[in-house]
Amino acid sequence: MANIGSKWTPSGRKAMLLGSGELGKEVAIELQRMGVEVVACDKYANAPAMQVADSSRVFSMLDADKLREAIETEKPDHIIPEVEAIATPVLLDLEKAGFHVTPTAKAAWLTMNREGIRRLAAEELGVTTSPYRFASDFEEFKAAVDAVGIPCVVKPIMSSSGHGQSVIKSPEDIEKSWKIAQEGGRAGAGRVIVEGFVKFDYEITLLTVRSVAGTSFCEPIGHIQVDGDYRYSWQPQAMTPEAKAAAQDIARKVTDALGGYGIFGVELFVRGDEVIFSEVSPRPHDTGMVTMISQELSEFALHSRALLGLPVPEIRFLGPSASRAVVVEGDTKEVEFENLDKVLEEPGVQMRIFGKPEIQGHRRMAVILATADSVDEARAKAERVYEKLQVRVK
Q: One of 160, 233, 321, 371 is an active-site residue; which one?
A: 160
Specify burial of residue 283 (Cβ count, 10 A radius: 0-12, 13-18, 19+). buried
Q: How many CB atoms lie within 10 A of CB 51?
A: 16
Active-site residue identified among 12, 162, 319, 330: 162
Backbone angles phi, psi at 336, to 5 degrees: -125, 125
Alpha helices in the chain (DSSP H): 22-33, 64-74, 88-96, 105-112, 114-119, 138-148, 174-184, 241-258, 291-294, 299-307, 340-343, 375-388
Task: Evaluate whether 62 touches 85 at the Cβ level (below 8 Å).
Answer: yes
As beta bridge partners, residue 158 has none
- List the catalytic residue out of 13, 57, 191, 364: 364
Active site residue 160: yes
Residue-wise DSSP of 356-393? -S-EEEEEEEEEEEEE-SSHHHHHHHHHHHHHH-EEEE
**69-75: long-range contacts at Cβ-Cβ below 8 A with a sequence spacing of 24 or more?**
70/16, 70/41, 71/16, 71/99, 74/14, 74/16, 74/39, 75/14
Give the integer Cα–Cα distance in Å for 254 and 280.
8
Stated as kind and residue range, the H or E segment containing 322 is strand 321-332
Catalytic annotation on 162? yes
Q: Among 286, 291, 299, 304, which one carries the catalytic annotation?
A: 286
Beta bridge partners of 391: 337
Catalytic residue among 177, 267, 283, 321: 267
DSSP class of residue 198? -
Distance CA 108, CA 104 (A): 7
User: Active-site residue among 287, 291, 298, 304?
Assistant: 287
Q: Characterize the bridge pairing of strands 55-58 and 37-42.
A: parallel
CA atoms within 13 A on the CB side of 274: 10
- Tell me, yes or no, if 172 is annotated catalytic: no
Cis peptide, bond prior to residue 241, ω within 30 of zero: no
- In whole angstroms, what is the distance from residue 226 CA to residue 246 CA? 27
| Active-site hit among 37, 203, 219, 279 | 279
Active site residues: 160, 162, 267, 279, 286-287, 364
